[in-house]
Structures are given as structure tokens and as C-alpha cells.
Amino acid sequence: MVLNVAALVVGLVLDRQRGGAAPSAGRLKVGLVLDVGGLGDKSFNDSAYLGLKRAEGELDLETRFIEPGDGSDRESAVRQIAAAGYDLVIGVGFIFTDDIRAAAERFPSVRFGCVDMSAGPGDKLPSNLIGLRFHEEQGSFLVGAVAGLVSKTKKIGFVGGMDIPLIHKFEAGYRAGIAHVCPDCVLYAAYAGTEPKAFADPATGKELALAQYDRGADIIFHAAGKTGQGVFNAAEARGMMAIGTDADQYREAPCCIVTSMVKRVDVAVEQTIKDVAAGKFKPGVHELGLAEDGVGYVYDEHNAHWIDEKTHEKVEELRRQIIAGTIQVPSS
């Protein structure tokens, strides 16, 4: 379902004197500002929105979400919600990093969260700000192993959205996973652009994917938001395989999607809201990987004909080794 304008009100008012304060009687007011592409990307933004809706189903909330047009108005959207007296404002996407920091300093009584915040574990953040980061490279390693094990041509593709370090993590993990199980495999990699709109350009995604399929690739992993829909269109056109990202994207192209690298933005958003409601808000950078169920891959009845039991067992063993630290997955 695609909704296009800010709406949804639900919430539970907190004692705003300090980050971990317990909520007072009332409804917590939660605002969510989405990334470029907005709802309907069947990926990153939809996952964040799902987390908001799940929390709304369990708590007495007042919620609001905003979809910035091209992303240039995201700062005003964050300020608008914070100034309206909301208790928690979450920005979805690394491009919110500077705006969220500035807003947190301007509105010290409001709590803020930033998904994919461009900050490291040692960064000093305002006491009312939490940065939510993921080990995308770990989940990408696993789908890279799947690609290397199911590819017949030993030529494999990757289509990224914006050419930035965050998406390089997907490529690095994917490349390492392929190499681990198929040293002879060749990886083709391409990016849709260097601006945020690269995450909302299905036409370019299709063009890049077609070029890789035509070079012999038989499976392509995308980390490109809505641009990835173009990759699926190309897979359908060529009768080839594809791998989704962020959420289970099987229904986008049942003919072709072997698996998806799941990035649990929904879990991070939902848990942040619940922590604020329970007075357990903990500022700082929080990183979620395989061990925290923050990333993973899809294996179910829809892809068993691609991923047989032997392949599944191999990938599961790799997952266990990553969690144990036996395998160190590169992030760049």
C-alpha cells in the first residue's frame, strides 16, 4: 500500500527532562521522516514504516510520518515535527545525519533517532540522540555465498544505488561471500549515481542490470532502494535470477528472486519506540548484525527450489562462523 502525505497520529507523553526518563501519563508522540523514494519502495522506507506501525499496534501512540519530496526538505520536516511537541523523531537514512544532529541540539527535550547514521561507535552524540547502524556486510556475505553457489555462469552482478561508503558495505560483503564459495566467479558492479535520487531511479537500475545480464551474469544483487525495481524488471526480461534487499522482496518478482538480504530497519525503529515508552532510551551509536538479528537472508518455501538443503546448510554454517568471529567480513 502506498500513502503519499504525512498522516497517522498516535502516542504517549514522556517526562522530557532526561534521555532515559520514564513516560508520564498520556500518549507518546512519534514522528518518522522517510528517505528519498518514500513509501512504496518495498524496501528501506517500507521497513521503517512497518516498525512504526507495529509499535503503534502495541502501544498507545500518536504518530506522524512525512515523505520529503527529493530529500532537500528533510531538515524542515524534522524541525516541523520536533517543534510540534513530539517526544521522538526518527529520520530514515544516512542523509539525515547532520540534520538530526542539529535538531537534537536545538530541541534538547525531544529524543531523536537516525537510521544508518554516519557515525562510528566512538562518536560523541547529543544525549537525546541514538544512531542506528547495521552490519550490512554480514548479511550481504550470506547472499553472496548463495549467489556463488547457485550461479551457473560464474558471472555475478551487483547494482548499488548511490555510490557511497554505506552501499560499498553491501558490495564488499557480497564480493567476499562470493569469493569464499566460488573463487573462480567474476563480479560485475555498478552504481546508479552519486546523488540521493540514485535510490529512486528504476529506469537506470534496469539499464545497469540488463548490461550485466548481457555480459553473462545470471544473478544480480541490488542495494538500491526503489531503483532495485528496475533490476527485477531486467531479471524478468532476461529470465535470470535476482536478489532483493532490506526486506523480503520475493513478491516483487516471484519468477526471479532467489533470496533477499534482510536489513531489519523495522526492528530497530520498533525497538527504539518501545525503549522510549519504557524509559529505557540509550543514546549513542547502536550497531546490529547477524548476532542481534539485525541482518540476515530469506530462506523459505518460496526459494527452496533455488536454495536446496545442501546449499542452505553451507550458508547456515557460514552464518554461524560469522557470529562466532571465525569469519571476519570486510566492510569496504
How far separated are the first and last CA of the chain, in Å rounded?
A: 35
Element (H, E) at 180: helix 165-181
Instruction: Report pLDDT for 15.
Output: 27
Instruction: Report pLDDT for 13.
Output: 26
**Which sign, positive or negative, has the C-alpha torsion 319, 320, 326, 328?**
positive
Measured between alpha carbons, how far is 20 from 188 in angstroms, rounded to an integer?
47
Q: What is the DSSP letter of 109?
A: T
Measured between alpha carbons, how far is 266 from 281 in angstroms, rounded to an integer?
17
Instruction: Report pLDDT for 37.
Output: 78
Q: Could you give the domains of the chain?
A: 28-134+265-288 (3.40.50.2300), 137-262+299-324 (3.40.50.2300)
Instruction: Report pLDDT for 43.
Output: 81
Instruction: Report pLDDT for 73.
Output: 78
What are the angstrom distances between the C-alpha of 318 and each of 77, 311, 321? 42, 11, 5
Residue 296 CB contacts under 8 Å (≥ 6 apart), including other chains = 139, 142, 261, 262, 264, 290, 319
Task: Judge contact between 257 and 242, C-beta under 8 A.
Answer: yes
Q: Which three cell numbers stand for residue 216?
A: 553473462
Kindly report the pTM of this predicted structure.
0.85
Task: Judge contact between 248 and 260, C-beta under 8 A.
Answer: yes
Instruction: Report pLDDT for 67.
Output: 87
Residue ranges in the chain modelled with pLDDT below 50: 1-25
Instruction: Report pLDDT for 239.
Output: 98
- Range list of β-strands (E), 163-313: 186-193, 219-223, 241-246, 257-263, 284-288, 295-297
Taking only the tens place, the pLDDT of each residue in 15-60 is 222 233 333 447 999 999 998 778 888 888 999 999 999 999 999 9
